[in-house]
Chain A
């Protein structure tokens, strides 16, 4: 029970941090390269604790992200729902991939996400994304091992606490 609660805290704090990181600016030059943090965090939790993450939850996180971002209500909700759906569907396979293959899968998922974003922006009549932003999925894949290890470390520590 205690462990579940601790994990719950870690989960929500992770989501909140991801949303904050999404809002934080970077120097203008590397701005378009910024990885899509909420997607990375949601991917970890849907791999490691699939009972916690559902498509509906991803949708809700996306709505909150849309409210914060102020671009188009429903945009990120749709993208995160699709992303989490795919991860949950292939969870059993993705979990046991070696890290480099997992990173490759993350790259494909983020690229899919980027394509969806470009499509949605095109339909909404917004300006196209900066060309450099197509490298952002690669950056996300490159930092995926670190995100995974960091969150996994937090997760196992919480589990270890319970055992002690």
Chain B
């Protein structure tokens, strides 16, 4: 006697089905990651969902803001007075320096006019506040509270009062993400202000260290040298402090020097930052000249017959003009 067969025997047991489902999800995730890596889907999705996402960031940043506000309120009076005095001194010093700089600037402007260069010395900047959230596993990127609607675009330089902080890498309608100079994926063309030696400062992922590799062994660079942006590459405007050399050593190959640099910007503390409005004039070879040829009526043509037929269709009253032009070259 045969046992009564169950009507629906599952092809896969429960465990197998679970495993298959997991594999399907893993494959889906892998496909998503590859597509996102190649096409930047995430940015588009984030841009579309920004109306929902940005308030979440604000919410997540709120406790940190409260703690900050509370600590400011609870700071002792004497400490505030002290800080106030220090700031006054700093301001006085800065103003004195600025006054001196003013004269130098004017002189520089005259000289530049003499040299017939046109470089803007004035700069337009926009104030932005940090939204205190953590993006990704490291703290190499920060979120700012201005976005496309405030005129921010990808590639703008972010500075604080001490130096270059980084650049904008992603914009949302009312927020934007800036990559800091310490991000290992970040590099900025720099120049030693003392000697004019050029290099490229890379981030290391370490909060207080950049590295300028591939300097010749014979190059004149010392501890304490200040590096400023060189303006090469056209991304960062020239002349903003990037950092000071703290250590010099040979690189792994022993053929080049490597300068370890402490960033000038206060990356840990900056609550308010400036976004530079103007992109610098690109430095480098001039753009290729646009294709300029003789006027259309004088241009030589490849198909004489076709053009003539067309011409006779369009302007039958002037038949002689194209014929003479065609024979000149």
Q: Give A contacts to B, CB under 8 Å.
A: 19-20, 22-26, 28, 31-32, 34, 55-56, 59, 62-63, 66-75, 77-78, 81-82, 85, 88-89, 117, 120, 124, 126-130, 133
Does the CB pair B137–A70 fall under 8 Å? no
Residue of B nearest to A26 (CB): B134
Q: Cβ of B18: which chain A residues have Cβ within 8 Å of it?
A: 55, 85, 88-89
Q: Give B contacts to A, CB under 8 Å.
A: 15, 18, 21-22, 25-26, 28-33, 35-37, 41-42, 45-46, 49, 53, 56-57, 59-61, 63-64, 132-141, 170, 177, 183-185, 205, 207, 268
Does the CB pair A70–B133 fall under 8 Å? no
Interface secondary structure of B, over-half rule: helix
Counting chain A CB atoms within 10 Å of each CB, the highest count among B25, B30, B136, B184 belongs to B25
Q: CB within 8 A of B25: which of A55, A72, A88?
A: A55
Q: CB within 8 A of A78: which of B26, B35, B205?
A: B26
Interface secondary structure of A, over-half rule: helix
Residue of A nearest to B44 (CB): A73
**Closest 6 A-B residue pairs measured CB to CB?**
A74-B32, A78-B29, A127-B184, A23-B60, A73-B36, A74-B33
Q: Cβ of A63: which chain B residues have Cβ within 8 Å of it?
A: 32
Does the CB pair A67–B42 fall under 8 Å? yes
Complex alpha-carbon distance, A22 and B57, angstroms: 11
Complex alpha-carbon distance, A88 and B25, angstroms: 15
Does the CB pair A70–B26 fall under 8 Å? no
Does the CB pair A117–B137 fall under 8 Å? yes
**Shortest distance in angstroms between B24's beta carbon and chain A's nearest beta carbon?**
9
A77 and B32 contact, Cβ closer than 8 Å, known pairs A25-B132, A67-B42: yes
Q: Cβ of A23: which chain B residues have Cβ within 8 Å of it?
A: 56-57, 60-61, 133-135
